Structure 1
Amino acid sequence: MDHQHAFQLKPAGAPYTCSGCGQLGFGSRYHCENNISCNYILHEECVNPVPYAFHPFFEKSSFEFHKKPPGHRTRYCDACGKDVLGFVYHCSSTNIDLHPCCLKLQRSISNENVTLELYRKVHSKCAKCKHKHVEGKFEGWSYYDGNSYCYHVSCFKDFIVENLKRGYFSQVDRSITNSTNRETQLALTSMEIAQSSRRGRTMSKYTKIAVVVFKLIFSAIFGNPISAFVAILEALATN
């Protein structure tokens, strides 16, 4: 018989997959302490879900929390387009689904004179996929500064997962002095994506703005990056 989970907040460490929603997580997490062999881990958004929720992007929807996707067909999140693998907020009347983390995405994020707004629909191409739509007619939510930088939430997730598989985060819990160049290369790769959307600025200004944009979106989607990763990005931004 499964034991009753008792959760304890753990500090940021290696990347993890949330046992509730099945989505990737960084930063702090809630780990079951009831059994030494239990690896049940939850996002903050998943450890204390609310039974009912609303979102301003879907004014006609009233969401109810489910531990498993309702029905028998494969369901996807109407924010990022990724499959629903576990915990989900579902509206039975509009048939709309949201991952817990997507439901809680901040509408506005800002730092160092850079402000990004979350949009259900946006009039700019994503800096990564170069399209307005994630796939087919599905636009997907985006973070956009209203001028140069636009990233689909879905594309940013893909970018991080791709680099996770390549080993960029295998040593992220080390101090900045002992880290390899993998995290630096990840930041530079993201900056190359952002830079392709606009020309004419100096590389140093490109670098600083792109790093801030990268850090803001990373934190909004995955939770606060661990200290070593943040230190690398901030070091790049000040050079």
Structure 2
Amino acid sequence: MIASPNNNAEKDHPDNLSLAGDGFDTVIKAKAALDQNAQCRNKVSCADILALATRDVIVLAGGPSYTVELGRRDGRTSTKASVQRKLPHPEFNLDQLNAMFAPNGLTQRDMIALSGAHTLGFSHCNRFSKRIYNFSPRTPIDPTLNTQYASQLRQMCPRNVDPTIAINMDPTTPRIFDNAYFKNLQQGKGLFTSDQVLFTDTRSKATVNEFASSPTAFNNAFISAITKLGRVGVLTGTKGEIRIDCTRPN
């Protein structure tokens, strides 16, 4: 949320440039509405508003509702450099994915459930272009990709594509929070290597199959995982602050 005059804040990292500006505005408006109420003024953090907004977007898109744990305080720093340590890379394999989530108390099952959030949202062509053009000298297209899907991606993402073109993460129901993501993986339609590997690696394949066959199993696992994720790096007590303005520290 923090803005930077020298474009060095977390939101300025290339991985975050697709975040919608009106999404930030929604959080800012929610904060302003709360602070207009004398009983709520300076008592609700921007971090808690983000956590609540996440839940509400999931519900509005048809996903499960869940209780959001509250009481977070806002951090005072925001840097581009921190993003690389927090976000999985599109080319990660299963070991790399597990290694990123495990230190935060998240299991492989948690990681797979959270990956299911890719049932919503989009990516840009440069994040997966290697899979459809330069996978290897002998095999230009990643053989784990569905052939028809790879052809569609090539049509949407020619070699010299406009880098701002957005491609849905879920090619079937991109605006609905459902378990289609896992059904897509079964058909070779995971957009990132880090998506498709969940099905191609035998250690995670069974969980993908479970979530693909049972929306209830996926929803329950997702609620558990996102609740755990909401506890990572939380500031409470005298740590951090409750920002007056979400775009800058007090």
TM more than 0.5? no
Q: Which is helix-richer, 1 or 2? A: 2
Name the structure, 1 or 2, with higher relative contact order (CA <8 Å, separation 6+): 2
So what's the TM-score if we normalise by structure 1? 0.30
Q: Which is strand-richer, 1 or 2? A: 1
